Amino acid sequence: MPKNDRYVVKHGSDWAVKKGGVERPQSVHGTQAEAERTAKETVRGLGGGEVRIQGRDGRWRDSDTVAPGNDPCPPRDKKH
């Protein structure tokens, strides 16, 4: 698991930014959009990586490679 990756997950009634393998969240936000923005800023500042976003149902709904990370499938990633 790359060290720069971050995960946006449900945290009670809020949303948290977490690093893989770490129990305590890096930050907690009132909305998923705020948590996603913070996760992407963090990963960008660390030199790039992956941000995975969990939906309300607990399933992974989206993933985004943040520069200068390498996108594993650049031709298919047309959402961002």
Residue 39, pLDDT score: 96
For the chain, what's the residue count? 80
pTM score of the predicted model? 0.80
pLDDT value of residue 62: 93
Q: Prior bond to 68 cis, omega within 30?
A: yes
Q: Is residue 79 part of a domain?
A: no
Q: In Å, how far are 39, 65, 67, 76, 77 from 73, measured between CA atoms?
A: 21, 10, 14, 6, 6
Which region holds residue 27: left if phi is over 0, alpha if psi is between -120 and 50, else beta?
Answer: beta
Q: Identify whether 72 is part of a domain.
A: no
Query: What's the domain range around 23?
Result: 6-66
Query: What pLDDT score was predicted for residue 22?
Result: 92
Number of folded domains that form the chain: 1
pLDDT at 76: 57
